[in-house]
Amino acid sequence: MAKRRGSNQRTRRNQYTDRQRHTRWLALAVTGALIVVIGGWLAWLLTQPKPAATPHANQQSSVRHAIVTRKKAKTKSASTTKSASSLSSASSLSLASRFSHDTYSTPTITFRLTNAKIITAKDDQPALFIQFTFINNGATAMTPAAVWRQLTILRQGKTDAPAKDITPLTEATLSDSDARGKLGKMTEAADASVAPNKEGTGAMVYAFKTKDPISLQFIDRQTGRPVGTKTYEITG
């Protein structure tokens, strides 16, 4: 009887020990599993890229404004450069022609006014007879009268007269006697071709009707701007 009781006690003790051992292993297994799960989650978090910071509204507005400003500045600069180039070009063109001391000159031609007088043209009309020397500094032959017509404007009227009282003058025809004489030879010379680096003389004739001053205005061929004016006063 005593042996059976001792055997039962040993059996119960062994069963208790087995349960403890089983519980300990189960706890260790659960703990290990938790460590693995938590460690894997932390590792996943560490490997994720950081989200890009969202710019503040004021920062976006400032950057956009800076880009617009630089673009405008560039456009303005290009516009200013273009304007400066145009002004420089216009200035150089206006300087290509000059009228001083009765001489109109460009890089290719020169007119030098030598004399002027009043004559009686055909049909007994008074006319202004203008004499000049023409110099051809260009590369091709030129006709003085043709060049003259491109570069001169003649008008009659008082200096302070309104535009309606200014009369453009037209070319006159010499009387038959003058046409056969010295004056005729001068007008014919104006229609003769002048070779490069040569000079010639000529004359132009303009009819007028009043005693108001007559202005001979030279213009720049390229710009059409007035370069200078010679005024003839009618007396007598």
pLDDT tens column, 7-53: 555 555 555 566 666 677 677 777 767 776 677 666 666 666 555 44
Distances (CA, A) of 182 to 172, 178, 190: 16, 7, 13
| Contact residues for 147 (Cβ-Cβ < 8 A; gap 6+) | 109, 111, 134
Which alpha helices (H) appear in the chain, and where do they start and end?
2-47, 57-94, 144-151, 176-180, 182-190
* Of 138, 124, 88, residue with least CA distance to 209: 124
List, for residues 203-225, the tens digit of each pLDDT value: 999 999 999 999 999 999 888 89
- Average pLDDT in the chain: 77
> The tokens of 100 are what?
């001083």
- Model pLDDT, residue 56: 44
C-alpha dihedral sign at 72, 77, 82, 84 = positive
Residue 161 binned pLDDT confidence (cut-offs 50, 70, 90):
confident
CA–CA separation, 84 and 130 (whole Å): 41
| Model pTM score | 0.60
Residue 179 binned pLDDT confidence (cut-offs 50, 70, 90):
very high
Inform me whether the pLDDT recorded for 92 exceeds 50. no
Contact 213, 128 (CB under 8 A): no
Task: Find the distance separating the first CA and the last CA of the chain, reported in whole Å.
Answer: 180
Contact 145, 191 (CB under 8 A): yes
